[in-house]
Structure 1
Amino acid sequence: MAERPWSAGAAPALALVANAFIWGVSWWPFRQLQQQGLHPLWGTAVVFAVAAACVLAVRPAAFAQSRAHVPQLLLLGVVAGLTNVGFNWGITVGDVVRVVLLFYLMPAWSVILAWPLLGERPSATSLLRLLLALLGVLVVLDTGGGWPMPRELADWLGLLSGAGFALTNILLRRLRHAPAPSRVLAMFAGGGVIATALGLFLTGHGVVPSPAPTPHAAVFVALLVAGFLVGNVALQYGAARLAAHTTALIMLSEVVFASASAVLLTGAVPGLRTWLGGALILAAAAWAAWPGAPGARRVVAP
């Protein structure tokens, strides 16, 4: 029997795990930057602007390739920018596990958004998954008194960034014929521009001006830039070689990395409600990605 090529076996899966690990622990360097006086908005602005410059340096044709898809790529940049800004801000200022779990409500958002935007009517099964995910959110947000609602900014950021990521996936499906470098450039540039615009708009309203750069802060910026670039390459490599449902299931390991790193580095242990609600949210996400589930093969990775 011929030996199975490594690239057709474990390598793509490991690449996706590496991407999940990078995003799962990205909260830590962002918090280090915050301790240096760099608000998550300014941190995101710098990191994504540098990442976009690196994409242009490696793929200079990416900008020219974008001209044929300008309106769609601009929209992708705005939505992806808001998604990344919300996620990075949320995991920096809030409970990491709660924010990541609320972010993974994105399969439920996909059911809601795909109907008006793609004409995909939800099936009975997808509605059941939606209800399961929403039940998980109610459990996570329940504080034992009153109607469970997001109780802090980080909760809202987690929910909204999950909705943004679902919309990003829908836009990527519409842009699947656009060159990959132009899509990557739009997403990184969008993160830099949106974060800068919000930082300027909110300066004096909870956001302080960006301090002078320090060598210590530069180290964490470099780590994040390198991590996100490597993560993007790993995601493109793995997602192109594995079934979409497999990609989506492996991406859920981000919750494991985020939870484990938060417990190890901060000592914060999530409460029972967080674990129970998170289990329901992840069950709904895994169900959506499971082979044979309606829409399982339509998942698009950025």
Structure 2
Amino acid sequence: MNRRFDNTWPTLAIMVGASVWGLVWYPLRMLAAMGLTGTVASATTSGAACLFMLAWRRRSIRTVSWHWLLVALGLAAGVTSIGFTWGAIHGQVMRVLLLFYLTPAWTALFSHFILRDRLTAADAALSLLSLAGAVTMLWSPELGLPLPADLAEWAGLMGGMGFAMSNVLVVKITRTLPAMKPEMRTAVIFGGSALVASVVSLFEPMPTPPAASQLGMVAFIVIGLGVVLATNNMIVQMGLARVPANRASIIMLFELVVTALSAWLFAGEVPGAREWAGGACIVLACLLSAWVHRRMTVPAPDPAASNDLPDDASNDVAANVSASKKKSRRAMV
């Protein structure tokens, strides 16, 4: 029973994390209805998450050392947070999220230039497939070119590019700063999001500010959302540490299901035929990307291994043979 739970809980952790991200748009819209703009909401919730993470994992602060990659990660995370938050508040949630999920295209491009990963034919094909999904979703005879229809969709697109860049930079940082704890990378992500959103908020006109009677509720939602996002990030990281990356990327697509259901229940948003067709292409690109990278990371069998046994099995056989020889010697003595 315990072994089954050990194999199941990492998957459940990732699904919980995906569910949280699929629902987080709703409290953001609540804050917008109370008078908080998207950039201010992003700055305050990210700041609360950063402070909570630093207080919770304060002993890990000593593992942080200065590097320009941390600045780049903070900027990319800021673009991600603003794009997702602003797009979810002002646009159709499902369309914004599907544009956000064009990660196969951007990740392949950024990995080629930053991580020096070779851009394979499979990566190029998957990038084209995800872009074809976006074109299908955005194209209409009335609008002409298949471009995002409004600023919210542009925000979702830019947020997805920032998300892909953040993922690539996290890989780069783990190679460059291996002593840095994962929770401190999380703190850098939330801290960068708070700083970038604070600067951008200076250029966004503030509507009617929250009424005095609503300040308590606004503070409660901001702090609660920050704590939830920080905790959720740690839960997802624990799951990702125990689940292969290819499988984790498939599980994370559960976010699209939760988002579609919550947008239908809470906002009455129902995707049309073009959204379903384009979204299917984007999801298929993500699934195929996970499958391709799984095949690329499968270790080649060792031709020297006897009877095609894995290393652990070979070691067990060797240990049993050795033990039997020792017993034979004792019996002879």
Q: TM-score, normalised by structure 2?
A: 0.83
Residue 294 to residue 81, structure 1, CA distance change in 2 (3 Å): farther
Q: Tell me the equivalent position of 2:305.
A: none
For residues 184 and 108 of structure 1, the distance between their equivalents in structure 2, rounded to whole angstroms, comes to 24
1:290 equivalent to 2:291? Answer yes
Computing the radius of gyration over CA atoms, which structure comes out larger, 1 or 2? Answer: 2
- Classify 1:122/1:261 alpha carbon distance in 2 versus 1 (closer, same or farther; 3 Å): same
CA gap of 1:137–1:203, structure 2 versus 1, over 3 A, is closer
Q: CA deviation at 1:12?
A: 0.5
- Partner residue, 2:259: 258
1:50: which partner in 2? 48
Pairwise CA RMSD:
1.9
- Counterpart for residue 223 of structure 2: 222
User: Equivalent residues in 2 for 1:257-276 (5 A)?
Assistant: 257-276=258-277
* Match in the other structure for 1:198: 200
Once the two structures are superposed, residues 191-223 of structure 1 have per-residue CA deviations (whole angstroms, 9 ceiling, x without a partner) of 1111111001x143xx44864661221232233
> What residue number does 2:312 align with?
none
Query: 1:156: Cα distance to partner?
Result: 0.8
Runs of at least 5 residues in structure 1 that lack an aligned partner in the other structure:
298-302
Residue in structure 2 matched with residue 141 of structure 1 by the alignment: 138
Extract unaligned runs of 5+ from structure 2.
Answer: 299-333
Aligned length: 291
Identity within the alignment, % = 34
Answer whether contact 1:263 1:269 (CA < 8 A) is retained.
yes
Equivalent residues in 2 for 1:207-218 (5 A)? 207-208=206-207, 211=210, 214-218=215-219
Question: How far is the alpha carbon of 1:268 from its aligned partner?
Answer: 1.5
Equivalent position amino acid for 1:5 in 2: R
**Structure 1, residues 63-122: CA drift from partner, whole Å, max 9, x if none?**
4322x2432212211111211111111111100000110111011111111111122222
Note closer, same or farther for the CA distance 1:124–1:70 as it changes in structure 2 (3 Å cut).
Answer: closer
Aligned residue number for residue 234 of structure 2? 233
Number of the residue aligned with 1:115: 112
> 145, 155, 158: which one pairs with 1:157?
155
Taking structure 1 as reference, are residues 118 and 61 closer, same or farther at Cα in structure 2, changes over 3 Å only? same
**C-alpha distance 254-181 of structure 1, shift in aligned 2 (>3 A):** same
Q: What letter matches 1:34 in structure 2?
A: A
Label 1:10 to 1:28 Cα distance change in 2 as closer, same or farther (>3 A).
same
Deviation sequence 1:169-208 (CA, Å, 0-9, x none):
11100111122122111011111111111001x143xx44
- Selected match of 1:124 from 121, 126, 141: 121
Query: 2:221 & 2:164 partners in 1: Cα distance?
Result: 28
